[in-house]
Amino acid sequence: MIMNVNGIDIFYEKTGEGRPVVLLHGNGEDHGIFDVLSEELSIDHGVYAMDSRGHGKSSKVSELSYDSMAEDTAGLIRKLGLDRPFVYGFSDGGIVALLLALRHPELTSGIAVSGANLNPDGVKGKYIRMFRIIHFFTRSRKVKMMLTQPDIKDEELEKIEVPTLVIAGKSDIIKEEHTRHIAGCIRNSRLVILEGEGHASYVVHSRKLYGILKPFLDRVEE
């Protein structure tokens, strides 16, 4: 389905019925990475898996930013009339979920973020070097965004009050101390570091993610 939000078309796929859950994918991906998770969550939730601007079936745009993606997510929640959905974001989607909870706390009951970072320094150096090489040859706006954004301050994170689950793989591209710092700045948070997992290994088309998210989601909805 397509919804016009902030002057652009945002594509989303809706499955199931019940308490709403919004799913936000990572850089260069689309909602399809959540096919397994959507199937499992839709047993007792209304699941809204969206394509971020410039991705998938959503509008192509000249510039990309996490700020605009957060505003798109807020706009979609409002236009669909969703009652404080739980929001899960992976990688770039995790950054968007943090910004949503910061700027529009009334729109969500809780968030979970996987492999998110507050700034480019949170990414391990070898991956930043790889992104720079890719950007040099491709001039990709999506890669440029990862090299220059986001810029979320600790004092902003400290304002997040909704229940927050912070997740990362032990071998994530995000520095473990950075992930721990994110969780430490959010008062009402829980941290999970997954042994034997990388950045996306437990997320993309994986049955592992449901088992990690569902207990936290159930507690939020109690």
Secondary structure letter of residue 166 according to DSSP: E
In tens, the pLDDT along 153-211 reads 999 999 999 999 999 999 999 999 999 999 999 999 999 999 999 999 999 999 999 99
In tens, the pLDDT along 129-152 reads 999 999 999 999 999 999 999 999
Question: Residue 62: is its pLDDT beyond 90?
Answer: no
> DSSP secondary structure string, 5-74?
ETTEEEEEEEE--SEEEEEE--TT--GGGGHHHHHHHTTTEEEEEEPPTTSTTSPP-S---HHHHHHHHH
Ranges of each domain in the chain:
2-120+149-221
CATH class entry, domain 2-120+149-221: alpha beta
What pLDDT, on the 0 to 100 scale, is given for residue 25? 98
Mean pLDDT score, 4-18? 97
78-111 burial code (b ≥16 CB/10 A, e <16) = eebebebbbbbbbbbbbbbbbbbbbebeebbbbb
Average pLDDT, the chain: 97
Question: Residue 213: is its pLDDT beyond 90?
Answer: yes
